[in-house]
Structure 1
Amino acid sequence: MYYTYVLYSEKDGKLYVGYTEDLKLRISQHDKGLVQSTKSRRPLILIYYEVCCEKWDAIKREKYFKTHYGRMFIKNRLKTWFENRAG
């Protein structure tokens, strides 16, 4: 199994999208500051993930989530969560 995941940075309010074969390990690496691209953006919250059977599917979803339409999908899918963050 492969996972496409979305993290929310509490520091800058931006999203980070990635994929992995081991979601628990990868989130732990992000939390510990072992991932260069998110090290300075901690703390991070896992806000969304999808499970894919094939690696190429996870990569395809990651690329989609990094587009304008993909970010709109995430924001619409988690609309209530984002509204609650705003106050």
Structure 2
Amino acid sequence: MFVYILYSDKLSRYYVGQTTNFKKRLERHNLGIVKSTKGGLPWRLVLKLKVDTRSEALLLEKRIKKRGIKRFLDNYLGV
């Protein structure tokens, strides 16, 4: 499982999600198949974190969203 953070230059926004197949999921985002991200094409990967279980992925995704994606990134990357 992976928790990932994407960024859209077009929207100047971040997106966080989780998946088992990151390559396929990123492709779906950038083809406009995912309703919540189709307005921000293209999306680029900012961070991808591997976790062991789906429950861990869901908890991490929730924690990132609650903290704020930009704030989480600043803390995680030590900015």
- TM-score normalised per structure 2: 0.88
Residue identity over aligned pairs, in percent, reads: 33
Greater C-alpha Rg: 1
- Residue of structure 1 in register with 2:57 after alignment: 58
- TM-score normalised per structure 1: 0.81
User: Mind listing any 5+ residue stretches in structure 2 that lack a counterpart?
Assistant: none
Count matched residues: 79
C-alpha RMSD over aligned residues: 1.7
Moved over 6 A (4+): none
How far residue 67 of structure 1 moved from its aligned partner, in angstroms, is: 1.6
- Partners of 2:5 and 2:15 within 8 A in 1: yes
Q: Deviation string for 1:16-37 (max 9, x for gaps)?
A: 0000010000001011111000
How far residue 68 of structure 1 moved from its aligned partner, in angstroms, is: 2.7
User: Mind listing any 5+ residue stretches in structure 1 that lack a counterpart?
Assistant: 81-87
